[in-house]
C-alpha cells in the first residue's frame, strides 16, 4: 500500500488505540451478534465511554469537538477492516450520517436533551427515509405529519431502517405538506418511546446479520414542535446537503471491507495446498491477486483524496457519488473473486470470506442505488 500522507502521527495513534479496543469489544462478540440479529447495547456504551461516538460534538454537550473528519474516517475504516460488517455499518451511521442532522438542524432544547446521550451510547440513532412504496424516490413518500398547533401528528411507515430495532431516536422524513412535493418534506426527531411508534422484528437478510434492520410504524404519534429539524419544508434540502458525507462514509467502509477480504485471501492461498504446492504459486491465483490488489490500491488512493477534499469542504455530490459507486462495485468484485480463490471453503459461513460475500451486496443498494449514483455523476459532468 502507498504511504497515506493525509494522516498525521496523532491520527495513527488514534487508529492504533481504536484497533486495540475494537479487538476487545467487537470482534470476539460478532458471531453471537449475528445470531442475535443485532449488536449489544453494551458495545455502544463501551465505545461511548472511550470517546468514539459523535466525536465531532461540541464540548458544551460533552463531546470532544473533533471537527477533523479524518478521525471519523479512521473510525469507519478500522471497524470495516475487522470484517464485522454489522457493526461496521451501524456505528458509522450513528456518528456520521444521523448525528449531523441533530447537530446542524436541531433546536437547542433537542440538542441539550439528546446529544449527551448520543455521545455516551445511551441513545442509538437511525434515519428513516425509505418507505415500502418509495425507495430512492423520496418525493414519493407517504408518511405524513399533520400540524396540530403545539405538536405534529405522524402517520405512516418506513422500511429497511439500519439501527432500527435498537434505535432510541430516529431522524424521520415526513410530508408536512403533501401538495408541495419535495418542498413539502420536513425532518422530525421521532423518539422511540412515543405512544403509537412501534418497530417490526429485524429482517432475515442475506448478509449484515448483526445489523438490526427493520420496519418502523407510526400510528397517530404526537411529536413536539421542538423535534422539528430546521425549518418546515426544508427537509429534502437538508437530506441532499448531508448525502455527500453519507456516500463518502459508505465508500470508506467499502474499501476497508475489500482490503480485509483480500488480506484474508492472500494468506489463505499461501497456506492452502493443491497438487503438492500452495495455490499462491499457480499463475491464475497470482494474476487474480495482482489485479485485485491493484484495483484496491487505486480505490484507496481515491477515497483518501475524497476524505481530504471533504476536510477542506471541497467534496461535491458528484465526487462522493463516484466514490460510492466505484468502491461498492469493487467490494462486490473482490468478495466474489476471493470466494472463488477459496474454493468450496469460500461458501462456508465460518470462513470470513463467505460473510464478506454476503455482506457486500447491499452496498450497491443503500445510500442511493448505484444506478442513481450514475445519474448524479452524469448530471454533474453534463451540466
Please report, for the domain that includes residue 154, its CATH number: 2.40.110.10
Same-domain pairing of 109 and 167: no
Does residue 142 fall inside a structural domain?
yes
Last residue of a domain, one of 186, 212, 233: 233
Grid cell locating 370: 448505484
Last residue of a domain, one of 191, 213, 233: 233
Same-domain pairing of 292 and 202: no
Q: How far apart are CA 281 and CA 334, in angstroms?
A: 20
Residues paired with 144 in a beta bridge: 155, 175
Q: Is the dihedral of CA 339, 345, 347, 351 positive or negative?
A: negative
Same-domain pairing of 212 and 241: no
Placement of cell 431516536 in the chain: 169
Q: How far apart are CA 89 and CA 178, in angstroms?
A: 32
Instruction: Answer yes or no: are the C-beta atoms of 78 and 18 closer than 8 Å.
Output: yes
Grid cell locating 110: 433537542
CA atoms within 13 A on the CB side of 118: 32
The angle formed by the CA atoms of residues 131, 134 and 140, to the nearest 5 degrees, is 115
Q: How far apart are CA 106 and CA 143, in angstroms?
A: 21
Same-domain pairing of 148 and 164: yes
pLDDT of 138: 74
Phi, psi of 154 (to 5 degrees): -105, 130
Does residue 357 fall inside a structural domain?
yes
Same-domain pairing of 190 and 287: no
CA atoms within 13 A on the CB side of 320: 22
Domain containing residue 332: CATH number: 1.20.140.10
Does residue 169 fall inside a structural domain?
yes
Does residue 1 fall inside a structural domain?
no
Same-domain pairing of 16 and 138: no
Does residue 117 fall inside a structural domain?
yes
Instruction: Answer yes or no: are the C-beta atoms of 176 and 149 closer than 8 Å.
Output: no
DSSP annotation of 38? S
Last residue of a domain, one of 214, 233, 252: 233
Instruction: Answer yes or no: are the C-beta atoms of 301 and 256 closer than 8 Å.
Output: no
pLDDT of 136: 67
371: nearest Cα among 327, 325, 319, 315: 325
Does residue 3 fall inside a structural domain?
no
Q: How far apart are CA 75 and CA 87, in angstroms?
A: 11
Same-domain pairing of 242 and 356: yes
Does residue 2 fall inside a structural domain?
no
Q: Is the dihedral of CA 298, 299, 303, 306 positive or negative?
A: positive
Does residue 314 fall inside a structural domain?
yes
Same-domain pairing of 274 and 187: no
> Number of folded domains in the chain?
3
Same-domain pairing of 225 and 249: no
Grid cell locating 302: 481515491
Got the DSSP string for 246-308? Answer: HHHHHHHHHHHHHHHHHHHHHHHHHH-EETTEEGGGSHHHHHHHHHHHHHHHHHHHHHHHHHH
Q: From first to last of the 383 residues of the chain, give the pLDDT tens digit.
A: 667 889 999 999 999 999 999 999 999 999 999 999 999 999 999 999 999 999 999 999 999 999 999 999 999 999 999 999 999 999 999 999 999 999 999 999 999 999 999 999 999 999 999 998 776 677 789 999 999 999 999 999 999 999 999 999 999 999 999 999 889 999 999 999 999 999 999 999 999 999 999 999 999 999 999 999 999 999 999 999 999 999 999 999 999 999 999 999 999 999 999 999 999 999 999 999 999 999 999 999 999 999 999 999 999 999 999 999 999 999 999 999 999 999 999 999 999 999 999 999 999 999 999 999 999 999 999 98
Same-domain pairing of 168 and 303: no
Q: How far apart are CA 57 and CA 324, in angstroms?
A: 25
Q: How far apart are CA 331 and CA 256, in angstroms?
A: 9
Radius of gyration of the chain (CA): 21
Write down the H helix ranges in the chain: 9-25, 30-36, 41-49, 69-81, 85-92, 99-105, 108-120, 235-271, 283-311, 317-342, 352-360, 370-382
Same-domain pairing of 55 and 131: no
pLDDT of 383: 84
Domain with 186, as residue range(s), is 126-233
Q: Which are the catalytic amino acids? A: 246
Domain containing residue 33: CATH number: 1.10.540.10
Same-domain pairing of 264 and 365: yes
Amino acid at each position: 500500500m502507498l504511504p497515506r500522507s493525509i494522516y498525521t502521527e496523532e491520527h495513527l495513534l488514534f487508529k492504533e488505540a481504536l484497533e486495540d479496543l475494537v479487538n476487545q469489544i467487537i470482534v470476539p462478540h460478532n458471531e453471537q451478534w449475528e445470531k442475535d440479529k443485532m449488536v449489544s447495547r453494551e458495545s455502544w456504551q463501551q465505545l461511548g465511554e472511550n470517546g468514539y461516538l459523535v466525536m465531532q460534538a461540541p464540548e458544551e454537550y460533552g463531546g470532544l469537538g473533533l471537527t477533523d473528519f479524518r478521525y471519523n474516517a479512521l473510525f469507519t475504516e478500522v471497524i470495516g477492516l475487522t470484517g464485522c460488517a454489522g457493526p461496521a455499518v451501524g456505528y458509522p451511521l450513528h456518528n456520521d450520517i444521523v448525528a449531523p442532522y441533530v447537530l446542524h438542524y436541531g433546536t437547542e432544547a433537542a440538542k441539550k436533551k439528546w446529544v449527551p446521550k448520543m455521545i455516551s451510547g445511551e441513545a442509538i440513532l437511525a434515519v428513516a427515509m425509505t418507505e415500502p412504496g418509495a425507495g430512492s424516490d423520496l418525493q414519493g413518500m407517504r408518511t405524513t405529519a399533520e400540524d396540530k398547533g403545539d405538536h405534529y401528528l405522524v402517520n405512516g411507515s418506513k422500511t429497511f431502517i439500519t439501527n432500527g430495532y435498537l434505535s432510541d431516536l430516529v431522524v424521520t422524513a415526513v410530508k408536512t405538506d403533501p401538495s408541495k412535493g419535495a418542498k413539502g418534506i420536513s425532518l422530525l426527531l421521532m423518539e422511540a418511546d412515543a405512544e403509537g411508534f412501534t418497530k417490526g422484528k429485524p429482517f432475515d437478510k442475506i448478509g449484515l446479520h448483526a445489523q438490526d434492520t427493520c420496519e418502523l410504524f407510526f400510528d397517530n404519534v404526537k411529536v413536539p414542535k421542538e423535534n422539528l429539524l430546521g425549518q418546515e419544508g426544508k427537509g429534502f434540502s437538508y437530506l441532499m446537503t448531508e448525502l455527500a458525507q453519507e456516500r463518502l462514509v459508505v465508500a470508506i467502509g467499502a474499501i476497508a471491507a475489500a482490503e480485509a477480504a483480500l488480506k484474508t485471501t492472500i494468506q489463505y492461498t499461501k497456506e492452502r495446498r493443491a497438487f503438492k504446492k500452495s495455490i499462491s504459486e499457480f499463475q491464475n491465483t497470482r494474476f487474480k491477486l495482482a489485479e485485485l490488489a491493484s484495483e484496491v490500491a487505486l480505490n484507496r488512493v481515491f477515497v483518501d483524496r475524497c476524505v481530504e477534499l471533504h476536510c477542506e469542504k471541497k467534496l461535491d455530490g458528484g465526487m462522493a457519488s463516484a466514490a460510492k459507486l466505484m468502491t461498492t462495485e469493487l467490494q462486490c468484485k473482490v468478495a466474489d473473486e476471493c470466494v472463488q480463490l477459496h474454493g468450496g471453503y469460500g461458501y462456508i459461513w465460518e470462513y470470513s470470506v463467505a460473510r464478506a460475500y454476503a455482506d457486500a451486496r447491499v452496498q450497491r443498494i443503500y445510500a442511493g442505488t448505484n444506478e442513481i449514483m450514475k445519474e448524479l455523476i452524469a448530471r454533474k459532468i453534463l451540466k
